[in-house]
């Protein structure tokens, strides 16, 4: 009923205090029932670790003009739609070989290359700061973002029209990733709801990628898996720290589809039972030797981990992460060794074993499930 009075009061307050003045410095601003969103076309709003922890991944840009278009979108979201928006730049390098899972016929770790041998920068636009992805505030804002039609993203539609009319020289104006593909999908989709979504219709909730490596923001384990592990003596779910190092994993042959009311006494897949037995035996032997080992069983594999760590390492301003020396020692201790022929030439990798049970080719730090 009194919305117009609130709007007038906000306008008056905006006139009385200079731009950029914080809410903390103005007692009257704290009385307003809404947030004051800073919006300056000459400022940049890069994502910071303290933002979030949960945010909306609205869209991303790559190629010529990406930075400019991303900043225009951020300003418009802040000024026009009163949404806290930030940019985040990340480099993707698919030109280098990567180590695949498993080993080849010579016992060496599998090496693979990406199909597209490219390297590029991508700039993401993220919206909001939410304490949880389940809050109504986060879900409502996400739904709003999906239907917005910012002027900064109108170029995607112009690109499509340029292509359909044959004027290819006029296309390529937008740097938004997959903009034309998504516009075509919306235009020819039989669902009216999907047709009505805007150029950020594929937005989704995500954890702040710069969040400190302290284990916050991880997803929860479903109740069935919790019950599957509740009688385990050295249960990984009881590990007090956010991170641990996975040193062994044993897969079942099948992926189970049990519902959450599964009977614990029911017969499981032989391969899955075998995997669980290996993990349990290895954990107990390591514990008998004074190693801080844990086991964990889910729907398709069982794993063994070592240690409890507050973080994986230290993150520096340039993006580098210095791994915790204790984690490095565990990896070096349990990783596969290189077998050497009598002539001194290496012949491949041989997994380390304990009581005949093999460790992973290369142990790695993981989050402790909660």
Residue of 215, 216, 205, 202 whose CA lies nearest to 54? 205
The answer, yes or no, to whether residue 358 has pLDDT greater than 90, is yes
The answer to whether residue 215 is domain-embedded is no
Same domain as 115, residue 6:
no
Q: What is the pTM of this model?
A: 0.48
The enclosing H or E element of 77 equals: helix 66-79
Note whether residue 350 is domain-resident: yes
Any domain includes 214: no
- Which band of pLDDT confidence, cut at 50, 70 and 90, is reported for residue 58? very high
Q: What does the pLDDT read at residue 183?
A: 65
pLDDT tens sequence across 196-235: 888 898 899 888 888 765 555 455 677 778 888 989 999 9
How buried is 306 (Cβ within 10 angstroms: 0-12 exposed, 13-18 middle, 19+ buried)? buried
Residues 11 and 100 in one domain: no
Whether 152 shows a pLDDT value over 80: the answer reads yes
Per-residue pLDDT tens digits for 257-301: 333 344 444 444 577 888 999 999 999 999 999 999 999 998 778
Looking at 178, 207, 236, which one is the last position of a domain? 207
> Residue for token digits 């897969």?
251
Q: Which residues of 77-91 are buried (b: 16+ CB within 10 A; e: fewer)?
A: bbeebebbbbbbeee
Residue 90 lies in a domain: yes
The range of the structural domain enclosing residue 44 comes to 40-207
Average pLDDT over residues 83-94: 90
pLDDT for the residue numbered 339: 77
Q: Is 328 a domain residue?
A: yes
What are the backbone dihedrals phi and psi of residue 189, each rounded to the nearest 5 degrees, phi first? -85, 135
Total count of domains within the chain: 3
Q: Could you say which DSSP state residue 176 is in?
A: B
Asked whether residue 54 falls in the same domain as residue 195, the answer is: yes
Burial of 57 (0-12, 13-18, 19+ CB in 10 A): buried
Tokens 């702040």 sit on residue:
208
H helical segments located in 110-222:
136-147, 154-164, 179-187, 192-196
Cβ atoms within 10 Å, residue 156: 22
Assign 75 a pLDDT band (cuts: 50, 70, 90).
very high
pLDDT confidence of residue 317? 61
Looking at the structure, do residues 75 and 200 belong to the same domain, yes or no?
yes
């Amino acid at each position: 009923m009194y919305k117009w009075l609130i709007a007038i009061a906000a306008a008056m307050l905006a006139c009385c205090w200079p731009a950029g003045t914080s809410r903390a410095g103005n007692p009257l601003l704290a009385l307003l029932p809404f947030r004051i969103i800073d919006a300056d076309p000459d400022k940049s709003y890069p994502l910071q670790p303290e933002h979030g922890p949960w945010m909306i991944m609205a869209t991303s840009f790559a190629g010529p003009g990406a930075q400019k278009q991303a900043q225009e979108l951020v300003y418009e979201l802040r000024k026009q739609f009163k949404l806290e928006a930030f940019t985040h730049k990340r480099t993707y390098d698919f030109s280098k070989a990567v180590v695949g899972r498993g080993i080849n016929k010579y016992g060496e770790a599998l090496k693979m290359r990406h199909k597209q041998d490219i390297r590029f920068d991508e700039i993401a636009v993220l919206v909001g700061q939410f304490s949880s992805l389940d809050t109504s505030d986060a879900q409502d804002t996400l739904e709003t973002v999906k239907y917005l039609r910012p002027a900064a993203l109108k170029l995607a539609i112009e690109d499509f029209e340029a292509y359909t009319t044959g004027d290819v020289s006029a296309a390529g104006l937008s740097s938004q990733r997959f903009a034309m593909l998504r516009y075509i999908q919306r235009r020819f989709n039989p669902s009216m709801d999907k047709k009505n979504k805007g150029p950020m219709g594929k937005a989704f909730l995500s954890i702040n990628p710069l969040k400190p490596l302290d284990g916050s923001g991880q997803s929860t384990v479903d109740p069935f898996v919790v019950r599957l592990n509740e009688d385990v003596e050295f249960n990984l779910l009881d590990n007090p720290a956010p991170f641990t190092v996975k040193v062994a994993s044993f897969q079942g042959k099948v992926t189970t589809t049990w519902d959450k009311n599964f009977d614990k006494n029911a017969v499981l897949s032989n391969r899955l039972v075998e995997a669980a037995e290996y993990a349990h035996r290895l954990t107990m032997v390591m514990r008998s030797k004074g190693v801080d080992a844990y086991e964990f069983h889910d729907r398709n594999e069982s794993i063994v981990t070592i240690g409890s760590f507050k973080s994986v390492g230290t993150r520096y301003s340039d993006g580098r992460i210095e791994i915790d020396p204790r984690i490095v020692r565990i990896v070096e201790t349990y990783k596969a060794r290189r077998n050497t022929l009598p002539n001194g030439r290496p012949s491949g990798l041989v997994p380390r074993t304990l009581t005949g049970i093999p460790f992973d080719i290369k142990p790695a730090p993981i989050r402790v499930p909660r």
